[in-house]
Structure 1
Amino acid sequence: MPELPESVVGDAQTSSFAWDLLTDLADVGNRMAGQAGERRGAERVIEAYEDAGLRNAGLDEFDIPGWWRGDSALSVSGPVEREYEGSHAVIALPGTPSGTVEAPVVDVGTGTYEEFEERSDELEGAIAMASSDTPESHDRWLHRMEKYSQAAEHGAVGFVFRNHIEGALPPTGEIGYHNRPGPIPAVGVSKEVGEQLARYAAAAEGTDDGGDEATTVTLDVDCRNEATTSVNAVADVGPETDEAVFLTAHVDSHDIADGANDNGAGSALVAEVGRLLKSVEDDLETRVHLVTFGAEETGLWGAYHAAETTPHEEIECVVNLDGACSSRNLRVGSNGFEVMTEVFESVTDAFDAPLETGDTISPHGDQWAFVQEGVPAVMTSTTSEQSGRGWGHTHADTLDKLDSRDLRDVATLVAEAVFRFASADVETPHRSREEIQEDIPEGYVQELKTGGRWPYDE
């Protein structure tokens, strides 16, 4: 049975509080890390915290490496002359440097390590192009940062990241993380443009080097890399305990999109769960600390700031929400913290709701800043039939893709779970850094080291 009173569950199922907040965040538009829209989004979250009667609501500022988009273009010369301009056709990837390069394109397929190795001799001085897809035979998702890093390590002078989902939408996404700016210019293009480039590249492979039929591509990337600041939006509900259950999401999104599901929905859910728990505040036995992080998309900066400025013994556990409104079917990645999975299983059982779980330690999402230190933390999202990120990281991550009923259902389940984590009946043991390091799958060790994100001393 649910532990929350029926009145709270009923409130969750009928209130427009979360959807109104999500709508306002989407209407901000560009919430790119370190830019004005991100701060406006965080301020709107603070307003929601205050409307919900939460205490200690405010902004926590920190420094980040900022990135501002300029205009980018891609042109093809040879037997076919094509020009791709405008953000609907070609977009720079955050973390890229400015620059212009001209070279032949080498298509490395899905950009696995094996595919890069197979075409290693051709990549020196070329522009590498890789799909956003990951082969079904692969044991884990391949991040674009790995593909970018592999391109640079194999001597490529530029990188093209092509969407594997049709719809003429170029994907964006960070390629530098904490190693900005990256070494070579990088852009995203749609599946359709990528298919054209792949066809031109395949045709060029049958020609003599330097011949009249040779096809070359010119990448022209304009952007700005400079220091700036980001903010976390924080508040508390429950008793004044030193220890706290953290409920988190990220408020920033990429500048080309409204960031409705990634991650306006998560930010709205954090505030909504805080509002629901306010009505049962006297029943909470542990403080719940709400944080909507800044600068997740560009390197988990807000999460790292929180993890580095909070004594770890004061963090009971972390429930992180990201991409949690694509459906009402909850997914929890436990990162090996089985007790947290068990709590969510008991919650979905109580509500007769579906739940998908995974226990692999994953470095993707704000929870990673805590997991790497041994702090119990889960990634909470929803499942859908879309491949990869779906509409995420494209112009199409808009409010019309989401359903307010899904948001209400997820809010109900997460509120119940956080209520249980904040009780004396649930203990979430921490682990040591050494134990976490030992249990990270080999593939993710490879990714973290390739991208310069490995947090442990060798």
Structure 2
Amino acid sequence: MVELPDRVVGDARTSDFGWELLTDLTDIGNRMAGSAGERRGAERVVAAYEDAGLRNAGLVEFEIPGWWRGDAALSVAGPVDRHHDGSHEVIALPGTPAGEVTAPLVDVGDGTYEAFEAAGDALEGAVVMASSNTPESHDRWLHRMEKYVNAAERGAVGFVFRNHIEGSLPPTGEIGYHNRPGPIPAVGVSKEVGERLARLAADANASVDDDGSPDTDDPARPEVTIEVDCRNEPTTSVNAVADVGPDTDEAVLLTAHVDAHDVSDGANDNGAGSALVAEVGRLLSTVADDLDTRVRLVTFGSEEIGLWGAYHTAETTPHDEIACVVNLDGACSSRDLRVGTNGFEGMAATFEAAADGFATPLETGDMISPHGDQWAFVQEGIPAVMASTASDGSGRGWGHTHADTLDKLDPRDLREVATLVAEATYRLATDAADGPTIDRRSREAIRDAIDEGYERELRTGGRWPYDG
């Protein structure tokens, strides 16, 4: 049974409000954390809040460690001599230090922990390359930051992150997080460049030392030079906020992030999420008198470099004033909703009831994930989910590349997701005697429930929040 009035559902199915906002955000271009473009994006979201008749619309500013991109290049010497400096071939990874290194290349494939162990001493003094792919045998996604840190801790002097998606699309993504800048220069390269490097490294690996490890002194082994120009300096970022519904102390937080990597228009990641927050806020404003709990819209800044906007909100809002959090990220690649529930069964039941009401498919997962703005709240035991859309691909697909553009998305998908999220948020913000209970969990309970692999990732990257 659908709880939203028919007129609101009809509005959601025919509205262009969200798509127009998404279009404007992608037209801004560079919305890198701390940039003028990120602020312009947040200001455009605030304007959308105001157009929707929401109250308390405005910006909240906070400090972040900024990063500014310069030129990057990768050269190969040895059996093949090549120089790559085009943005369709090689780009720096945010959080990298500036610098130039030259060293033998060692390829660790998909960059699993097992692959790093098998490479042994060959990584010392080498430039290490890892793919953006995660093997199907793994029950969780392997983050680039893990691969970067594992390379640095094993003595590598440089890191190359190669895309597994074709199309001359070098991937970007933060490697420093809250430990900027990282210890060694790091670049992303396209699949096409990476495939050549992997082939050359594989040919060289045919020669081994007495202990069975690759012979890094073999003259057939390619030598790689990485050149990175960039700046790591403090700056500020902003969250765009507004309210709808009664003026209660407690609020349901509906969130997304407006920042995107500077090489991309950030259409699906995460202009779509920002547009959805504003659109759902607009829809709820038409039934504001029905709501029993305030809905707080927060479009975060600086998600891509360490969830800074989300942490700012989590640290400056009394936790007893947050009923729950619905975070939207990458939610327009299809019209089939996927919700990571982090084990909060009441929120899972709410989304399941919303999907059942519309007889639409819903994919859920209950593993606690540290990826996405909801993590800043989940780690504290605050009920929080991440809503995205289901995809058959591995990894980010077009995300974090210059191909994350508006033409990959469909306004019909945006409307479908807006309808479902509006229905679920409406249910969360209204008191229903027969509705599911949204229970909090203790920090200790969350800590103990985190998958061993994700704990390993968080500790590897210095992000484990439960020590001390």
With normalisation by structure 2, the TM-score equals: 0.96
Aligned residue in 1 for 2:446: 436
Kindly state the Cα deviation for residue 117 of structure 1 after the two structures are TM-superposed: 0.6
Aligned residue in 1 for 2:88: 88
Partners of 2:65 and 2:232 within 8 A in 1: yes
Aligned residue in 1 for 2:182: 182
Kindly state the Cα deviation for residue 87 of structure 1 after the two structures are TM-superposed: 1.2
Question: Is 1:122 aligned to 2:122, yes or no?
Answer: yes
- Unmatched tracts of structure 1, length 5 or more: none
Kindly state the Cα deviation for residue 202 of structure 1 after the two structures are TM-superposed: 2.2
Partners of 2:200 and 2:221 within 8 A in 1: no
Once the two structures are superposed, the pairs formed by residues 151-166 of structure 1 within 5 Å of their partners are: 151-166=151-166
The one-character-per-residue Cα deviations of 1:33-59 (angstroms, maximum 9, x if unpaired) are 000000000000000000000000000
Question: Is 1:241 aligned to 2:248, yes or no?
Answer: yes
Q: Which of 282, 285, 307 is the matching residue for 1:278?
A: 285
Question: Is 1:332 aligned to 2:339, yes or no?
Answer: yes
Kindly state the Cα deviation for residue 364 of structure 1 after the two structures are TM-superposed: 0.4
Moved over 3 A (4+): 205-214
Structure 2: which amino acid aligns with 1:132? S
Flag the 1:380–1:216 CA change in 2: closer, same or farther, 3 A: same
Flag the 1:81–1:272 CA change in 2: closer, same or farther, 3 A: same
Question: Is 1:110 aligned to 2:95, yes or no?
Answer: no
Kindly state the Cα deviation for residue 86 of structure 1 after the two structures are TM-superposed: 1.8
Aligned residue in 2 for 1:351: 358
Aligned residue in 1 for 2:399: 392
Q: Which of 408, 429, 441 is the matching residue for 2:415?
A: 408
Kindly state the Cα deviation for residue 245 of structure 1 after the two structures are TM-superposed: 0.2
Aligned residue in 2 for 1:222: 229
Aligned residue in 2 for 1:419: 426
Once the two structures are superposed, the pairs formed by residues 63-102 of structure 1 within 5 Å of their partners are: 63-102=63-102
Kindly state the Cα deviation for residue 212 of structure 1 after the two structures are TM-superposed: 5.1
SS of alignment partner, residue 19 of structure 1: helix
Aligned residue in 1 for 2:212: none
Find the aligned partners of 2:152 and 2:233 in 1 and give their Cα distance.
22
The one-character-per-residue Cα deviations of 1:96-140 (angstroms, maximum 9, x if unpaired) are 000100001100010011100100210000001000011111121
Question: Is 1:131 aligned to 2:118, yes or no?
Answer: no
Find the aligned partners of 1:80 and 1:310 in 2 and give their Cα distance.
56
Q: Larger deviation: 199-208 or 51-60?
A: 199-208
Once the two structures are superposed, the pairs formed by residues 310-389 of structure 1 within 5 Å of their partners are: 310-389=317-396
Kindly state the Cα deviation for residue 201 of structure 1 after the two structures are TM-superposed: 1.5
* Percent identity of paired positions between Structure 1 and Structure 2: 76
Q: Larger deviation: 207-216 or 368-377?
A: 207-216
Find the aligned partners of 1:212 and 1:384 in 2 and give their Cα distance.
43
Aligned residue in 2 for 1:255: 262
Find the aligned partners of 1:364 and 1:384 in 2 and give their Cα distance.
17
Q: Which of 235, 239, 242 is the matching residue for 1:232?
A: 239
Flag the 1:437–1:352 CA change in 2: closer, same or farther, 3 A: same
Find the aligned partners of 2:202 and 2:386 in 1 and give their Cα distance.
41
Partners of 1:104 and 1:201 within 8 A in 2: no
Q: Which of 311, 314, 324 is the matching residue for 1:307?
A: 314
Question: Is 1:57 aligned to 2:64, yes or no?
Answer: no
Question: In the comparison of the two structures, how many residue pairs are matched?
Answer: 458
Find the aligned partners of 1:357 and 1:49 in 2 and give their Cα distance.
29
Find the aligned partners of 1:265 and 1:209 in 2 and give their Cα distance.
46
Partners of 2:105 and 2:221 within 8 A in 1: no
Kindly state the Cα deviation for residue 384 of structure 1 after the two structures are TM-superposed: 1.7
Structure 1: which amino acid aligns with 2:123? L
Find the aligned partners of 2:424 and 2:142 in 1 and give their Cα distance.
31
Find the aligned partners of 1:19 and 1:221 in 2 and give their Cα distance.
37
Find the aligned partners of 1:113 and 1:211 in 2 and give their Cα distance.
25
Find the aligned partners of 1:261 and 1:110 in 2 and give their Cα distance.
25
Partners of 2:122 and 2:216 within 8 A in 1: no
Partners of 1:146 and 1:450 within 8 A in 2: yes
SS of alignment partner, residue 13 of structure 2: helix
Find the aligned partners of 1:86 and 1:80 in 2 and give their Cα distance.
18
Partners of 1:56 and 1:235 within 8 A in 2: yes
Structure 2: which amino acid aligns with 1:284? L
Partners of 2:45 and 2:240 within 8 A in 1: yes
Kindly state the Cα deviation for residue 213 of structure 1 after the two structures are TM-superposed: 3.9
Q: Larger deviation: 202-211 or 228-237?
A: 202-211
Find the aligned partners of 2:202 and 2:418 in 1 and give their Cα distance.
49
Find the aligned partners of 2:19 and 2:221 in 1 and give their Cα distance.
54
Find the aligned partners of 2:309 and 2:173 in 1 and give their Cα distance.
17
Flag the 1:419–1:98 CA change in 2: closer, same or farther, 3 A: same
Q: Which of 275, 289, 297 is the matching residue for 2:296?
A: 289
Find the aligned partners of 1:292 and 1:79 in 2 and give their Cα distance.
50
Kindly state the Cα deviation for residue 385 of structure 1 after the two structures are TM-superposed: 2.1
Structure 2: which amino acid aligns with 1:57? A
The one-character-per-residue Cα deviations of 1:327-351 (angstroms, maximum 9, x if unpaired) are 1100001001000000000000000
Find the aligned partners of 1:213 and 1:351 in 2 and give their Cα distance.
61
SS of alignment partner, residue 119 of structure 1: helix
Aligned residue in 1 for 2:455: 445
